[in-house]
Amino acid sequence: MTGDDVVAKAREDGVRLVRFLYCDPSGVIRGKTVHVDRLANKIREGVGLTRAQNAVNMLEQYVPLEGMEPVGEIRVTPDPETYTVLPWLPRTAGMLSDQLGHDGLDWGSCTRTFLKRAISAAEEAGIRVKAAFENEFYLAEELDGKVKPFQDGPVYSSIGMDRVAYVMDDILDSLESQGLEVEQSINEYGPGQQEIAIRYADALQAADNQIKFRDAVRGTAEVQHGLIASFAAKPFADGVGSGAHIHFSLWSLDESTNLMYDASAGDRLLSETGRQFVAGVLDHLPALVALTCPSYNSYERLQPRAWAGSTVSWGPDNRECAVRIASPFRGREAESTNAELKACDPSCNPYLALGGLILAGLDGVLRGLVPPQPALRDPAAMTDVERARCGIQPLPSTLRMALANLQVDDVLHSGLGDLLARCIIAVRTSESEALEAMSAEDARRAHLRVF
């Protein structure tokens, strides 16, 4: 679609306001709203935004940072291809946006542009990445001043699905009307916890879909049902954590061949390219989790025996490994061979998470890395000798540790660029400092409300 197409479509749809949306380095979805009568100009020229806005953390605290002072502006510039009506709101549509300088180029801290760079680097190596975020989230309600999970039922049970069916039906309507293809919708282990799986797409669309997904779920639950939908990693102390597992596969540039599939792989599980990519992810994972598990609350979820992937590890259908090699579907082996990064949660900025994943895996391909032996058991149940044989090491137990690893990871740090890397580290460090000073319950509540 062109800008003119969007204007015509917005008028046809009866839209009055159009949101120019972006996801900032702290993982918060933000934006500016334009009236349809000004839409044509604003699609072309963008909307002004202070450089300092990206240095605002999830607690709405500005973090002083060189290059992001409250002086100077950038432009929030929408991608016409991402236009959709937001069905839970009156006469409102949205577009996902890039942040550009006055010259129309990346100003150094646009997370969507970072993902585009990672995609281009992979394609220069002959690899097209496809992905999907598999989200878990909580439905909750506020009663007597306290937020509590909404409804309950045994995991995967018809009882649990029945009790939230009318809410989930409206959520699925909101997703499907925006072009997201829903594959599964189930109730998960925690009281009030749900899971929805979306069909995979090219990497940029997969990240865009994640932004649309979070907004649609949260908006539909609140506006239509008076409920809270929380994508915090662990919003309740006695509830299980919520992941946003990234399923990914590698394809030829013409998308005719899944480069992770090898019919003769056998116990090697994946093709040579697939194994190299996984090896790169494992090599960079202690730093990568600063992007995929990026909130203070993330590390309450990232624990052993929580099915969160708390170690540097991989294995076939091993849900305690950080990287699970998913078993393919019979008759669709070549198409369905993929890997799943479990060490990822829905508080992440999907452009940073997926871009970091691509750069880490691509480094493994370019260096010809070989992964260790796959783990065939829960790493927590293995002996020290078995863990050493599989190269298993614990992942960072705090956000500060993950950020320290990101600081010295040359591939991820240079891929992000100086300004964006400094921003992420400074903003997230400020969050840690503020949240560490709170009670554990207040810190969880802050994440529940924001994400």
Q: Identify the pLDDT of residue 2.
A: 85
Report the alpha-carbon distance of residue 137 to residue 151 in Å, rounded.
13
Tokens of 179: 């072009």
Tokens of 17: 């306001």
Residue 331: phi, psi to the nearest 5?
90, -15
Q: Give tens-digit pLDDT for 392-447.
A: 999 999 999 999 999 999 999 999 999 999 999 999 999 999 999 999 999 999 99
Residue 105: phi, psi to the nearest 5?
-110, 165
Q: How many CA atoms lie within 13 A of 35 on its CB side?
A: 2
Record the pTM.
0.96
The domain of 103 spans: 3-107
Q: Identify the pLDDT of residue 3.
A: 85
Q: Quick check: 258 and 307 in contact, CB under 8 A? A: no
Q: Identify the pLDDT of residue 90.
A: 96
CATH of the domain at 424: 3.30.590.10
Cα 125 to Cα 177, 206, 334: the distances in Å are 35, 20, 21
The verdict on 356 and 315 lying in the same domain is yes
Q: Is residue 112 part of a domain?
A: no
Q: Going by C-beta distance under 8 Å and a sequence separation of 6 or more, which residues neighbour residue 103?
A: none
The verdict on 123 and 91 lying in the same domain is no
Q: Identify the pLDDT of residue 165.
A: 94
Tokens of 90: 């009156």
Q: Identify the pLDDT of residue 406.
A: 98
Q: What does each of the 451 residues of the chain score in pLDDT, given as a tens digit?
A: 888 999 999 999 999 999 999 999 999 999 999 999 999 999 999 999 999 999 999 999 999 999 999 999 999 999 999 999 999 999 999 999 999 999 999 999 999 999 999 999 999 999 999 999 999 999 999 998 899 999 988 888 899 999 999 999 999 999 999 999 999 999 998 899 999 999 999 999 999 999 999 999 999 999 999 999 999 999 999 989 999 999 999 999 999 999 999 988 777 789 999 999 999 999 999 999 999 999 999 999 999 998 899 999 999 999 999 999 998 888 898 888 999 999 999 999 999 999 999 999 999 999 999 999 999 999 999 999 999 999 999 999 999 999 999 999 999 999 999 999 999 999 999 999 999 999 999 999 999 999 9
The verdict on 296 and 418 lying in the same domain is yes
What total of structural domains would you count in the chain?
2
Q: Give tens-digit pLDDT for 211-268.
A: 999 999 999 999 999 999 999 999 999 989 999 999 999 999 999 999 999 988 777 7
Report the alpha-carbon distance of residue 32 to residue 47 in Å, rounded.
7
Q: Number of helices and strands (H, E) in the chain?
A: 15, 18
Instruction: Find, among 26, 121, 98, the residue nearest to 360 by Cα.
Output: 121
Among 86, 107, 128, which residue terminates a domain? 107
DSSP string, 105-140: SB-S--HHHHHHHHHHHHHHTT-EEEEEEEEEEEEE
Report the alpha-carbon distance of residue 405 to residue 408 in Å, rounded.
6
Q: Quick check: 289 and 394 in contact, CB under 8 A? A: no
The verdict on 85 and 180 lying in the same domain is no
Sort strands 73-78 and 92-100 into parallel, antiparallel or unpaired: antiparallel
Length of the chain: 451
Q: Is residue 53 part of a domain?
A: yes
Sort strands 128-143 and 193-198 into parallel, antiparallel or unpaired: antiparallel
Among 60, 78, 107, which residue terminates a domain? 107
Q: Quick check: 395 and 158 in contact, CB under 8 A? A: no
Report the alpha-carbon distance of residue 77 to residue 108 in Å, rounded.
15
Which is it for the CA torsion 373, 378, 380, 384, positive or negative?
A: negative
The verdict on 18 and 165 lying in the same domain is no
Report the alpha-carbon distance of residue 112 to residue 101 in Å, rounded.
14
Tokens of 378: 């829960």
The verdict on 141 and 50 lying in the same domain is no
Q: Is residue 71 part of a domain?
A: yes
Q: Identify the pLDDT of residue 153.
A: 87
The verdict on 291 and 334 lying in the same domain is yes
Tokens of 57: 């953390």
The verdict on 172 and 48 lying in the same domain is no
The verdict on 262 and 167 lying in the same domain is yes
The verdict on 96 and 134 lying in the same domain is no
The verdict on 165 and 216 lying in the same domain is yes
DSSP string, 18-59: EEEEEE-TTS-EEEEEEEGGGHHHHHHH-EEEEGGGGGB-TT
Largest CA distance in the chain: 67
Cα 190 to Cα 155, 240, 241: the distances in Å are 8, 5, 8
Among 67, 83, 107, which residue terminates a domain? 107
The verdict on 88 and 195 lying in the same domain is no
* Buried/exposed 318-340: b ≥16 CB within 10 Å, e otherwise: bebbbbbbeebeeeeeeebbbbb
* Buried/exposed 16-44: b ≥16 CB within 10 Å, e otherwise: ebbbbbbbbbbbbbbbbebebeebbebbe
User: From the CB of residue 161, how many other CB atoms can be counted at a distance below 10 Å?
Assistant: 15
Q: Is residue 372 part of a domain?
A: yes
Q: Is residue 369 part of a domain?
A: yes
DSSP string, 401-451: HHHHHHHH-HHHHHHH-HHHHHHHHHHHHHHHHHHHTS-HHHHHHHHHHH-
CATH of the domain at 47: 3.10.20.70
User: From the CB of residue 144, how many other CB atoms can be counted at a distance below 10 Å?
Assistant: 5
